[in-house]
Amino acid sequence: MSMTRKAVLTISANPFITRLVSKYGMKLGASRFVAGENMGDTLLKVKELNNEGLLVTLDLLGESVHTREEALVATDGAIRSFDAIQQQGVNSNVSVKLTQLGLDIDPYFCLDNMDRIVAKAKETGNFVRIDMEDSPRIDATMDIFSTLLEKYGRDHIGLVIQSYLYRSDKDVEQLGTHNVNLRIVKGAYKEPKEVAYPEKKDVDEAYRRLVASHLRNGCYTAIATHDIAIIQWAKTFVKENNISTDLFEFQMLYGIATSLQLDLAREGYKVRVYTPYGKDWYPYFSRRIAERPANALFILKSLFRK
Ligand code: FDA
């Protein structure tokens, strides 16, 4: 991990900075990365994206909740988003984080909450993907995922794998035997070198390896990156290996590489935009700044805009 990224992630955890940015950040530029603070505004953005040929996955922001009440509110929020998607007839599925649903409070409580969400996904003919968080939570996330995969099937639940982790080759191989729908990402957390590749080139190489392996196993793969070199590689790989465009999709974050998203959609690829919404946007926002400190400049510039 680069020094700058590490520094931004450390500074952003400072309580004073957290309070300051949470109060003013949405006006200062967080709205570039967050579709809205409420469902109504967000659905308008989802419709705009759909009209441009882009699919969506909605993410109700929030993570690491500390009380059962908060976790239940988040669970109800995810359930309500399936109803809203159905009522508005928009093309979107849903992504969730298990720490938002009570993973750190009690894994069984979290499992119950997640069970209700997948049940709703199934009832509305939709799909929910569990985002992957930092490495100490992976085993618990995998356990909950496996239990619900067995109960509801892979058409209704999927998972994320991070290429920066050494363990991911084995995980992809194992999940491939169950034909799991995986989103492959590079990984966004501050991880020690004991568990994750410190060098970007190794993370990128692992990324290609994991995507290739999952696609070769005939499993649905969401190629979630803004890395143009990897996207070009993926386009060539699928062509050379006669992989149907039904077996994969590109995914990118709301507000990032927007013209690339549109270009790929125009070329006929499926492109899904990870679209966060809600009031609790600060940790998500900090990770986006850490990935690209130039984004902090964008925020500063908006301070001086009329
Ligand atoms: P990389 O960081 O190499 O960036 C490639 C290029 O993309 C950069 O040069 C820049 O041009 C552009 N770019 C990247 N980030 C940018 C930013 N913030 N602002 C502006 N430009 C940027 N992580 C995780 O740990 N668990 C998860 O569940 C998910 N889920 C997820 C879903 C989706 C749809 C995406 C796209 C990403 C995630 N991630 C994630 C985040 C992921 O791990 C990673 O941190 C980011 O995608 C950035 O890495 P890239 O693959 O884009 O490559």
Instruction: Give the mutation target among 226, 258, 273 for probing the ligand 1 site: most ligand atoms within 8 A of CB.
Output: 226
Query: Over the stretch 37-61, which tens digit does the pLDDT of each residue have?
Result: 899 999 999 999 999 999 999 999 9
Catalytic residue from among 131, 171, 204, 280: 131
Apex CA 250: angle with CA 249 and CA 251, to 5°?
A: 115
Please indicate if the annotation marks 187 as binding a ligand.
Answer: yes
Residue pair 251/223 in contact by the 8 Å Cβ criterion? yes
Burial group, residue 116, by CB count within 10 angstroms (0-12, 13-18, 19+): middle
Domain limits for position 170: 3-10+55-295
What average pLDDT does the structure give for the chain? 91
Residue nearest atom 18 of ligand 1, based on CA coordinates: 288
155 pLDDT band (50/70/90 cuts)?
very high
Residue 46 lies in a domain: no
Where residue 156 sits, what CATH number does that domain have?
3.20.20.220
pLDDT at residue number 298: 62
Alpha helices in 63-106 (DSSP H): 68-88
Residue 15 lies in a domain: no
pLDDT at residue number 23: 57
Q: How many CB atoms lie within 10 A of CB 281?
A: 23
Residue 33 lies in a domain: no
282 pLDDT band (50/70/90 cuts)?
confident
Q: How far is the CA of 283 from the centre of ligand 1 (A)?
A: 14
Residue 217 lies in a domain: yes
CB of 99 closer than 6 A to ligand 1?
no
The helix-helix angle for 15-28 and 294-303 (nearest 10°) equals: 70
Residue 304: strand, helix, or coil? coil
Please indicate if the annotation marks 239 as binding a ligand.
Answer: no
Q: For 190, phi and psi rounded to 5 degrees?
A: -85, 105
pLDDT at residue number 305: 46
Place of tokens 């392996």: 213
Average pLDDT over residues 263-279: 96
- Domain total in the chain: 1
33 pLDDT band (50/70/90 cuts)?
confident
* Close Cβ partners of 175 (under 8 Å, ≥ 6 residues apart): 159, 161, 182, 219
Query: Over the stretch 204-257, which tens digit does the pLDDT of each residue have?
Result: 999 999 999 999 999 999 999 999 999 999 999 999 999 999 999 999 999 999
Parallel, antiparallel, or unpaired: how do β-strands 248-253 and 271-277 relate? parallel
Residue 171 lies in a domain: yes
Residue 304 lies in a domain: no
Q: How far is the CA of 50 from the centre of ligand 1 (A)?
A: 21
Query: Over the stretch 85-124, which tens digit does the pLDDT of each residue have?
Result: 999 999 999 999 999 999 999 999 999 999 999 999 999 9
Instruction: Report how far apart the first and last C-alpha atoms of the chain are (Å, whole number).
Output: 36
Residue 26 lies in a domain: no
Q: Which residue has the higher pLDDT, 27 or 89?
A: 89
Report the candidate in 237, 239, 240, 301 with the shortest Cα–Cα distance to residue 32: 301
